[in-house]
Chains A and B, each alone.
Chain A
């Protein structure tokens, strides 16, 4: 199936769950609402039309500084103030980071959890995006898909480690790349790139 017909098929099948779709640069992308993710994931894996039996990748993007001026890199400042050159224009533009909730007056969701699926028998790729709001005093949460694809186990641990997004129903949600005593989540945009933390030795 090509990107357009795949998106149409997903839209028809999961009418309530899909909140948007695009196929920027030919990558079929579907935006899902958080509540129905697990249901959609199961159906995508088992349904004869989709047969998405491989979870290729699972990651997240922090859109909190999208479109804002970035802090200068700590090692690359010439000190000379120059205006940037314009970006290369695009004929078929990207719709932009997912808004949440969809519709008018929406604000950008801070996090987007991104799933890249591949179907081995049917050879098509699909990207699922699940916008997650940043909740005050609690970690944002999504349903875990470990029961659908076993490979999600470590990938979800990595997203928790790097972005602080919790996965409901994950069997063993703990840090994977950083050490347990590490404070904060390094790939969040508000985590400074040059911040240092004391390396705490192994705890026995």
Chain B
């Protein structure tokens, strides 16, 4: 032991010295695989060293080997609690590089889906950190609410976690029939859960005592570390990418940006709770304003026909019979049938796959499909570089894409929001008690997937 670390007591007293405590890489209070080496003086943390990289998968290197749409499944695995926001961020970056825009309905779909993801992310973060402080009921309630929302996600994308819903130049499929109703219902349930959790936590003496005044950071430090999102807003800086650099249709939707005053764990909790309420508000407005989908029915029966039936018709060359009919989204085509395509795909044949009816029904569609999926072909944006930020659940999620004109990106860089927060973690911990590490680390909402990439 270094003599400077020991503190010799006066004769008769016990000798005390600082202790190194290794927390992690796998520890029940760690939200991912990460190692914190804390130097303790009694129960107080006097120094901390954070070690990351246990979940490094080479996202950026892998992205250079696949085509532009091939990166999308990898982006799902960045922030696996809100994958739809990652999808959207990446696709919008490539769309900026291509200089194209998506149809209005598609913008609204993306906004709705990313706000649902934001709620699930905040629910996970708040629920898990409440559980670590002993409030297990809240965790169960919030996971219940998350379940309602994930059912919506499953309804739209067909998957719960690895959704891969967005495409360069659109989304995979339109919203399914009856989504509007289910969404409103799920939001109502979520609102109820939020009210219940609020009642259990916000004025709970134990919870407030543990959260208030711990893990403090000043606005100046937070900005200097590049911290964004709810973490920065809890210090009183009202920076939100959706407000300050509006993308998609956020500038048309009304919402407030909650800010804190003290920059401690309690403020972060309060900001996240309010943000969920605001996200619900955004979704409800978006559902109200979203341009309607196609409204055509079968000319003879007056009823919509199944998309798979349409494909069969088209395979037999019976295009005129189905050209004006409305498709019912079904599990095989998941909302990407021909009449829906106009709403979800950019009008750019060199970017987006044709509807299946065209692929099977005529030679142009087949060629278009072939040119996009064949190895060595695919989407070929012009040479250039772009940076596109979106507001992820943890803060600014930016994609920096460099293209050399070939079918796979030359470089994809993701700016993970929790990387900046994690680099400030020692600063948050030093001076606090050992037990404060749990709420502080919980409020960071570290996501191993995007931190280590």
A→B interface (CB under 8 Å): 24-25, 27, 29, 53-57, 59, 61-62, 66-67, 70, 73-78, 82, 84-91, 93-94, 96, 114, 116, 120, 123, 125, 127, 149-151, 153-155, 162, 175-179, 186-187, 191, 193
Q: Is there a chain A Cβ closer than 8 Å to B406's Cβ?
A: yes
Measured between C-beta atoms, what is the minimum distance from B69 to chain A in Å? 13
User: In whole angstroms, what is the CA distance A85 to B406 when docked?
Assistant: 9
> What are 29 A-B residue pairs whose CB atoms fall within 8 Å in the complex?
A24-B384, A25-B96, A25-B97, A25-B386, A27-B386, A59-B400, A62-B411, A66-B404, A67-B404, A76-B65, A76-B66, A82-B377, A84-B376, A85-B377, A86-B380, A88-B98, A88-B380, A88-B382, A93-B384, A94-B385, A114-B400, A114-B413, A116-B400, A123-B244, A150-B221, A151-B224, A151-B424, A154-B422, A193-B61
B385 touches A153 (CB 8 A): no
B61 touches A187 (CB 8 A): yes
Name the contact of B380 in the complex, choosing from A77, A84, A155, A179 (C-beta under 8 A). A84
User: In whole angstroms, what is the CA distance A65 to B407 when docked?
Assistant: 15
User: In whole angstroms, what is the CA distance A149 to B420 when docked?
Assistant: 11
Measured between C-beta atoms, what is the minimum distance from B205 to chain A in Å? 35
B371 touches A177 (CB 8 A): no
Q: Is there a chain A Cβ closer than 8 Å to B32's Cβ?
A: no
Name the contact of B53 in the complex, choosing from A67, A86, A177 (C-beta under 8 A). A177
0/1 string, B394-405, CB within 8 A of A gives 1: 001010101011
B245 touches A123 (CB 8 A): yes
A151 touches B411 (CB 8 A): no
In the complex, which residues of chain A have a beta carbon less than 8 angstroms from the beta carbon of B96?
25
User: In whole angstroms, what is the CA distance A193 to B382 when docked?
Assistant: 24
A90 touches B382 (CB 8 A): yes
User: In whole angstroms, what is the CA distance A62 to B228 when docked?
Assistant: 28
B226 touches A56 (CB 8 A): yes
Measured between C-beta atoms, what is the minimum distance from B57 to chain A in Å? 10
The answer to whether residues A24 and B377 also contact, given A61-B402, A153-B423 and a CB cut-off of 8 A, is no
In the complex, which residues of chain A have a beta carbon less than 8 angstroms from the beta carbon of B229?
none
In the complex, which residues of chain A have a beta carbon less than 8 angstroms from the beta carbon of B371?
85
Measured between C-beta atoms, what is the minimum distance from A61 to chain B in Å? 5
In the complex, which residues of chain B have a beta carbon less than 8 angstroms from the beta carbon of A61?
385, 402, 410-411
In the complex, which residues of chain A have a beta carbon less than 8 angstroms from the beta carbon of B355?
none
Name the contact of B396 in the complex, choosing from A56, A76, A88 (C-beta under 8 A). A56
* Contact count A vs B, C-beta below 8 Å: 151
CB proximity to A under 8 Å, residues B421-453: 422-424, 452-453
CB proximity to A under 8 Å, residues B73-100: 96-99
- Contact size range, B: 35 or more
16 extra A-B contacts, CB within 8 A, seeds A94-B382, A177-B53, A177-B453 = A53-B223, A57-B387, A74-B65, A82-B376, A84-B406, A84-B407, A87-B381, A87-B383, A88-B98, A150-B423, A151-B224, A151-B225, A151-B423, A155-B226, A155-B423, A177-B452
A87 touches B380 (CB 8 A): yes
In the complex, which residues of chain A have a beta carbon less than 8 angstroms from the beta carbon of B65?
73-76, 193
Which B residue sits closest to A90, measured CB to CB? Answer: B382
Q: Is there a chain A Cβ closer than 8 Å to B27's Cβ?
A: no
The answer to whether residues A76 and B375 also contact, given A25-B96, A151-B420 and a CB cut-off of 8 A, is yes
Name the contact of A150 in the complex, choosing from B56, B224, B244 (C-beta under 8 A). B224
Measured between C-beta atoms, what is the minimum distance from A68 to chain B in Å? 9
User: In whole angstroms, what is the CA distance A66 to B350 when docked?
Assistant: 23
Which A residue sits closest to B398, measured CB to CB? Answer: A57
Q: Is there a chain A Cβ closer than 8 Å to B352's Cβ?
A: no
In the complex, which residues of chain B have a beta carbon less than 8 angstroms from the beta carbon of A191?
61
User: In whole angstroms, what is the CA distance A144 to B74 when docked?
Assistant: 31
Q: Is there a chain A Cβ closer than 8 Å to B419's Cβ?
A: yes
A90 touches B384 (CB 8 A): yes
Q: Is there a chain A Cβ closer than 8 Å to B316's Cβ?
A: no
User: In whole angstroms, what is the CA distance A127 to B453 when docked?
Assistant: 23
Measured between C-beta atoms, what is the minimum distance from B394 to chain A in Å? 14
A87 touches B386 (CB 8 A): no
The answer to whether residues A24 and B385 also contact, given A56-B226, A56-B396, A176-B52 and a CB cut-off of 8 A, is yes
A25 touches B384 (CB 8 A): yes
In the complex, which residues of chain A have a beta carbon less than 8 angstroms from the beta carbon of B453?
177
The answer to whether residues A127 and B387 also contact, given A73-B66, A88-B382, A177-B52 and a CB cut-off of 8 A, is yes
Q: Is there a chain A Cβ closer than 8 Å to B253's Cβ?
A: no
Chain A CB count within 10 A is highest, among B96, B97, B226, for B226
User: In whole angstroms, what is the CA distance A177 to B420 when docked?
Assistant: 14
User: In whole angstroms, what is the CA distance A75 to B66 when docked?
Assistant: 9
Measured between C-beta atoms, what is the minimum distance from B220 to chain A in Å? 9
